[in-house]
Structures are given as structure tokens and as C-alpha cells.
A and B are shown apart, each in its own frame.
Chain A
């Protein structure tokens, strides 16, 4: 058949995949190995890949070195969840309008939204700082949530719009003829049909929100208790010494909850991307 590979090709494919995977997973392997080494042996030179004194001590000690670690892990997930929820509240109605309705300034306003993609949060930090300060939001969760939402709305609209465009119009027209209001049609006909698309966009937004908290956290928030993991990790860099092994352990444990959730959601993600968002 068309898909059959010769033995040599199969070996080649697996070898290429192995190299690719090595690149993708190398830092994690390194983090894991470093987390197992006792601190005094971390700085041993020449480099040793394997040593006999590997231990899991760092995984228990890290909670004492940085007592707020659990809180940081929670904060990261909490902020990303809040960003995702708020973003979806804004994105779902807006992308429906762009997918289906006809109105003045449609393409101009859509272009305006997409242009926001050009500015990462980093570009607008100075005035954003002032806006957040005047709203009294500095050093609160909101200081990290609000900018996150703003920069993810355009991406969300872009992804969800192309998904909604694929839902057949006939269903909405049928509901409309039956006397359903526009809002009712959107809520009861379109949204249930768009669930796979909503999951894809939701997961994508969550991942972006989760992975890009660092700059807002270090710039807009000084409250230690509210710090997300990426910023909190740097507390392992102490005044006296850096407990690298514990920092590595904390990094791995810190991302574990999201990795586990992601493991369950990833098949929807791949399927959903294939089904919808990829049109153009």
C-alpha cells in the first residue's frame, strides 16, 4: 500500500524522531538529573552524567526552602484559568459576530483586533503600568489577569471565528424560522455545535496564559503571596546560595498538574485543530 515503508525507511524515521524528541526533552532530562544530585555534588567538575549519590531529598526540602511554593503553583494555575474564562467570555460573542453577521466596519474592526497581536505585553508595559495603577490594580491578581486577557482576545477571535464559519448556516436559519431570538440561537444552537472548537480555543488560550505570566508578574506585582510559579521559582536564588537542585525539582513538580490535565485534553486539541481552526 501507499503507506508502507521499507525497513530502512522505518529505521530512518525512528532515528529522526529520536533526534527530534531528544531536542524537545533534553532540558527536562537535565532538570531531572540536576534535581537528583545533592547540592554539594552539583558543582562537581568534570561533568558526570551519572553519580551514585542520586537522591530525592530536594523534592521534600524544596517546600521548606520556599514555603510559598505550593501557593505559587496554585497562583499560576489560578491566573491562567481566570484569564481563559474571561477571554472566552469576550471572544465567543465577538467571533460569532465576525463569523456570521454583517455590519458596518466589520473588516476594519477585525483588522484592528488582529493588529493587537503585534504588541506583546512587553511593548506596552509603561502605559499599562500607569493604567493599572490608576485603576488600583497593581499588586493584585488582576494586574496579571487583565493584560493577559487583552493580549489573548485577538488570538481567540482569530481561532474561533474560522471554526464557527464551518458550522452550517441552515441550523441557525431553522431555529430562527421557528421563532428563536438571535441570542437564543447563539446559546442553544451554535454553542453546543461549537463545543470542540471552544475546547481547542480554550486550551490554546490557557496554555498561552499559563506560559506567558512571567513579564506581567515581575513588572506589575510585588506581593509575594500572589506571585505565579515562573516568578516564584527565582526565590531559590537566595542571598547566600542557590539551591539549584531544589529549584529544578520545584520547576518539575510545579508544572506537573497542568501537564497531567493537558495529557487528557491533548487529543481533543489535535482533533479540534484538524477539524476546524486550520482553514486559513
Chain B
């Protein structure tokens, strides 16, 4: 970079001594202003509006102030409690699987073997195509009569007759998890792979010279080096999974009998499906509080851990 600045005098323009330079903060305001304004109108204003609506009994007919009634209903509702717990279970399970699979996938695709460039391309389709389109394929896979999963299960003798994956409470929930993992894994893999490739080879070579095995190098070099990306991905993926809508909506619409209803699905059904805007808004506020608390705790624990283990 220094070479470039040294060649600078060759095309010297005299520095205009009296030129007016835009102050830094005004320039910054000019650059950020449009994005900020856009977010304020499309995200912040609707959010404030949601908070207001949550104190209303609102529908297509009109609005009536009801105070904390909507919240009290939620606090008292056992069904809602179960939905909250189910949503967190959904999130931890799915994100955990995405991270584990993503880490394994990145490791495999980072190995120096022929064909890895092809494999890298082949894992991306689930991420690239519209989620709703991928779900069409899964809808068919999970079908009991003519889906391949049920078919293969019968061939192998794991199940006796056709198994309708989306018709039973347990299997519907876990089927949705599998599809969610399928959608989310490629991106995690790709980012972790990129992080792994950013790790300096010198580190590995030094360890190798000292006789460190592959597993040891992975544990003591790769993992600590990609940690920053891993923890960021985990949070990003957690928020995304918490708010996952398309997959559950297309596969089960939250059913059967609420077995795969997460907070987002519940909110959508109440607010958009039944036009109970006020009750829906209260749910949104609860979602924001829960997610915000989760993110704050996550960051707090993370900072504590990082300080404890002395890495930056």
C-alpha cells in the first residue's frame, strides 16, 4: 500500500488550501440518513404501533382500550405457556443441529480431497431456493402413502405400514425441525468454511511439526480460531429459527392440534387468520421481549466466557 502513496507525487494536484470540507458528522448523517429513515418508517413505526395495539381490543370493526387485558390473558393461558416452551425447544434443537451439522460439513468440505469444489456447490441449493419451494419437496417426502421416507422405511422394515409423518403430534414437530435444519445448514456450513479457510496455515504447520494430530489441531487451532464466527452465527441463526414461519406454515400450519405451533405461527393465526389485532400485537410484544432477553443473556454469558478463557 505504501508503494501507491509513494507514486502519488507523480500526479500531484495542488492541495486547494481554501476548499471547504464537509464536516465528518454531517457527511455521516447524509450517508446514514436514508437507511435510518427507511427503517424508522417500515420497522420502528410499526413496532410502536404494535405496542399501542397490544393495549387495545382491535379487529376489523374498530379499537377499544382494554389496558393489560390482552397480556393477562396470555399470562393465564396454559396453552400459551406451552407454546413459549415449545418455541424455545424448537430453537435450541434446530440451531444446535444446524451448528453441529454445519461444523461437520465445513470440516468435510475443507478437507484437501478431490471434488471438494463440486461438493461446495452441491450443498447450496437448500439455501438458495425459496424456502416455500423446498418445502414442497419435503411435503412429498413426508407423505405416508407415496413419500420416499415412508417407502424406504417400509422396505427396510422399520415401519409396518405407511407412516404419515405430518399427521402425528410428535413426528410432525420433528419433521418440521428436520426441514428447518435442512434450510439452515448450508449457510452455517458456508460461513464456517470461509472462517476455516481464513485460519493461517502457519499455525497448523507449526503444530504439525510438533507432532500434533489432526484431531488435536482441530480442537486447539480450528475451533478457537473460528470461535468468533461460530458464536455470531449461533445468535443469528437462533433469531432466524425463532422467527421461522414458512416451513411450519406450509408443512403443518402449526398442527396437528397445535403440536408444531411456535410463537410466530400462533401470532399469525390470531392476528391475520382471526383478525384479532390486539391479541396478536400483545403476542408480538412478548416475542420481542423474549428474544431481546435471550440475546442479552447470550451476549452477557459470551463476554463472561471469553474473559474467563482469556481470548479477546
The residues of A that contact B158 with a CB separation of less than 8 Å are none
| Residue B89, interface by CB 8 Å | no
Could you give 14 example pairs across A and B, Cβ below 8 Å?
A24-B122, A46-B154, A94-B32, A122-B243, A127-B281, A130-B46, A151-B43, A171-B5, A177-B8, A178-B12, A179-B14, A210-B128, A212-B130, A274-B194
Query: Is B154 a contact partner of A90 (Cβ separation < 8 A)?
Result: no
Query: Is A230 a contact partner of B133 (Cβ separation < 8 A)?
Result: yes
Contacts A118-B295, A124-B46 hold; do A109 and B228 have CB atoms under 8 A apart?
Answer: no
Q: Which of A140-181 contact B (CB under 8 A)?
A: 146-147, 149-151, 153-154, 157, 168, 170-171, 174, 177-179, 181
Query: Is A214 a contact partner of B12 (Cβ separation < 8 A)?
Result: no
Partner of A123, one of B25, B39, B186, B264: B264
Contacts A43-B146, A76-B130, A126-B281 hold; do A168 and B120 have CB atoms under 8 A apart?
Answer: no
The residues of A that contact B277 with a CB separation of less than 8 Å are 126
Query: Is A233 a contact partner of B295 (Cβ separation < 8 A)?
Result: no
CA of A138 to CA of B229, assembled, Å = 39
Query: Is A233 a contact partner of B136 (Cβ separation < 8 A)?
Result: yes
Contacts A117-B236, A122-B267 hold; do A266 and B130 have CB atoms under 8 A apart?
Answer: no
CA of A119 to CA of B243, assembled, Å = 7
Write the nearest CB–CB distance from B203 to chain A, whole angstroms. Answer: 11
Contacts A21-B119, A96-B31, A214-B132 hold; do A131 and B186 have CB atoms under 8 A apart?
Answer: no
Contacts A127-B45, A128-B46, A214-B131 hold; do A25 and B122 have CB atoms under 8 A apart?
Answer: yes
Query: Is A150 a contact partner of B104 (Cβ separation < 8 A)?
Result: no
Contacts A42-B146, A90-B38 hold; do A181 and B22 have CB atoms under 8 A apart?
Answer: yes
Contacts A122-B243, A270-B190 hold; do A150 and B38 have CB atoms under 8 A apart?
Answer: yes
The residues of B that contact A43 with a CB separation of less than 8 Å are 145-146
Q: Contacts A113-B36, A273-B194 known; list 6 others, CB within 8 Å.
A: A2-B204, A94-B36, A103-B24, A123-B264, A126-B272, A251-B133
CA of A45 to CA of B163, assembled, Å = 12
Q: Which of A74-131 contact B (CB under 8 A)?
A: 76, 89-91, 93-94, 96-98, 101-104, 106, 109, 112-113, 115-120, 122-128, 130-131
CA of A280 to CA of B124, assembled, Å = 23
Query: Is A171 a contact partner of B193 (Cβ separation < 8 A)?
Result: no
Closest CB pairs A-B (n = 5): A47-B151, A27-B137, A230-B132, A120-B243, A127-B46
The residues of A that contact B129 with a CB separation of less than 8 Å are 210-211, 255, 258-259
Map CB proximity to A onto B226-253 as digits: 1 under 8 Å, 0 otherwise. Answer: 0011001000100110011110011000
| Residue B185, interface by CB 8 Å | yes
Write the nearest CB–CB distance from B276 to chain A, whole angstroms. Answer: 10
Partner of A147, one of B13, B14, B30, B42: B42
Contacts A30-B141, A262-B124 hold; do A127 and B32 have CB atoms under 8 A apart?
Answer: no
Query: Is A94 a contact partner of B151 (Cβ separation < 8 A)?
Result: no
Dominant secondary structure at the B interface = helix
The residues of B that contact A128 with a CB separation of less than 8 Å are 42, 46
The residues of A that contact B125 with a CB separation of less than 8 Å are 24-25, 28, 255, 259
| Residue B198, interface by CB 8 Å | yes
> What number of B residues sit within 8 Å (CB to CB) of A?
113
| Residue B291, interface by CB 8 Å | yes
| Residue A23, interface by CB 8 Å | yes
The residues of B that contact A21 with a CB separation of less than 8 Å are 119, 122-123
The residues of B that contact A231 with a CB separation of less than 8 Å are 132
The residues of B that contact A116 with a CB separation of less than 8 Å are 39, 43
The residues of B that contact A64 with a CB separation of less than 8 Å are none
Map CB proximity to A onto B279-295 as digits: 1 under 8 Å, 0 otherwise. Answer: 01100100110011001
Which listed segment binds A: B75-83, B105-113, B169-177? B105-113
CA of A183 to CA of B24, assembled, Å = 11
| Residue A213, interface by CB 8 Å | yes
Q: Which of B91-105 contact A (CB under 8 A)?
A: 101, 104-105
Q: Which of B35-52 contact A (CB under 8 A)?
A: 35-36, 38-39, 41-43, 45-47, 49-50
